Amino acid sequence: MNDKDFKILFSQEKIEKRIKILAQEIDEKYGDQPLTFICVLKGAVVFYVKLLEYLKNKNVELDFVQVKSYEGTETTGQVKFVKDTSLDLENKIVILVEDIIDTGITAKFLYEHFLTKKPKDLLMCSLLQKPDKLQVDLKLPTLIGFNIPNKFIIGFGLDLDERYRNLNDILVLKD
């Protein structure tokens, strides 16, 4: 894998068990109210699909956004929209689905951006978070699948230069 050595951090089975729990938490919080799920492309797409699959509430609207803040394995520290949502979000329950909260810069940027669209409620649901790498104070409603160490990971939607997103497990770069 590009001369890098990876090992499994989370198996597909463990990931899917955790996603089922996250879906249950969303169902318990919102019941059968209409929900708008917004996937942050490209990394969150695998998580997004699984999360939607496990929801009991089927009264959902879907959209996608894409931002760019990485080059290779490093963040640039700046977030730019490639694609914004096309939906009117006013008075809707919006759930932003993210693959990973790394520095927190992208999460904060997205959360603040979507607050300006006046949703009824706004929740971020991220499969992964690196608490030791956070650079901003995140005070936003968030559901987190797993807290992970500050290491580079691939698989289950996460990439290395646009590759390895299709791996079923989440792998971590060995020391």
Task: Catalogue the active-site residues.
Answer: 102
Helix, strand, coil distribution of the chain in percent, nearest 5: 25, 40, 35
Give me the phi and psi of 86, to 5 degrees please.
-105, 5
Question: Who contacts 159 (Cβ-Cβ below 8 Å, separation ≥6)?
Answer: 42, 43, 165
> Is the separation of the CB atoms in 23 and 51 below 8 Å?
yes
Alpha-carbon distance of 122 to 142, in angstroms, equals 9
